[in-house]
Amino acid sequence: MSGQAYPCDGPPELAAAVDHALRRVADPEVAMNIVDLGLVYGVALHGRELQVRVTMTSAACPVADTIVGDIEHELDQAVPADLLIRVELVWEPPWSPERLSDSARRFMGW
């Protein structure tokens, strides 16, 4: 799915709904969506399971559980009800500021 800020393996018709849902999830510490922060590493549809790989800016992130719960909630509202949503928190490769979108860089004054 071209134009995505992260790799997305699945039908194109699902891409927009997934991306829109993920952009509604904000990191409460910086008040910015997780896509622009570069926290989404990839999305893949395997059969009836929608897998979303995300990271945090730090392994000590105090709001990681909140963000994962928000991802599940937003996707649950956006994708077909028969899809099983699985959010996987990953640490490789480590997050770095290079993952920030241009709008996130401007927002942060970088």
pLDDT at position 46 over 80:
yes
CATH architecture, domain 10-96: 2-Layer Sandwich (3.30)
- Nearest 5°: CA angle at 4, between 15 and 29? 100
What ranges do the domains of the chain cover? Answer: 10-96
pLDDT at position 1 over 60:
no
pLDDT at position 19 over 60:
yes
Length reported for the chain: 110
From the centroid of its chain, how far is CA 101? Answer: 13
Report pTM. 0.92
Q: What is the pLDDT of residue 2?
A: 37
DSSP assignment of 47-98 equals TTEEEEEE--S-TT-TTHHHHHHHHHHHHHHHS-TTPEEEEEE--SSPP-GG
pLDDT at position 3 over 60:
no
